[in-house]
């Protein structure tokens, strides 16, 4: 599984670590991904997602469905 937020698409950043002697080595900054089960009142069910803490804070503020609409994310819900 890739280290990418399922809702925002945020992935790892690549850069250089620079030592005091100005030696450069490649490094990756990974996003803070969390697996969460979010209650969606519009569906009356839980949704499992892997998302960044930044996206989680936004969802807590505005709601899951509204967050998806704002970011142009299509939601498919099937009651199974």
Domain assignments of the chain as residue spans, ordered by start: 13-65
Residue 42 has pLDDT above 70, yes or no: yes
pLDDT digits (tens, 9 = 90+) for 14-39: 999 999 999 999 999 999 999 999 99
Question: Got the DSSP string for 25-50?
Answer: EEEEE---EEEEEEEETTTTEEEEEE
pLDDT at 51 over 70: yes
| Residue-level pLDDT at 59 | 95
- Return the CATH architecture of domain 13-65: Roll (2.30)
pTM recorded for the entire structure? 0.79
Q: So what's the pLDDT on residue 12?
A: 97
Q: Distance (Å, rounded) from C-alpha 60 to C-alpha 48? A: 15
Return left, alpha or beta for 72; rule: phi > 0 is left, psi -120 to 50 is alpha, else beta: left
pLDDT tops 70 at residue 43: yes
């Amino acid at each position: 599984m890739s280290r990418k937020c399922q809702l925002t698409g945020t992935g790892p950043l690549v850069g250089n670590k620079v030592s005091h002697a100005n030696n450069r080595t490649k490094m990756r900054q990974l996003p803070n991904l969390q697996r969460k089960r979010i209650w969606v009142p519009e569906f009356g069910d839980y949704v499992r997602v892997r998302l960044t803490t930044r996206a989680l804070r936004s969802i807590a503020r505005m709601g899951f469905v509204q967050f998806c609409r704002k970011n142009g994310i299509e939601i498919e819900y099937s009651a199974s």
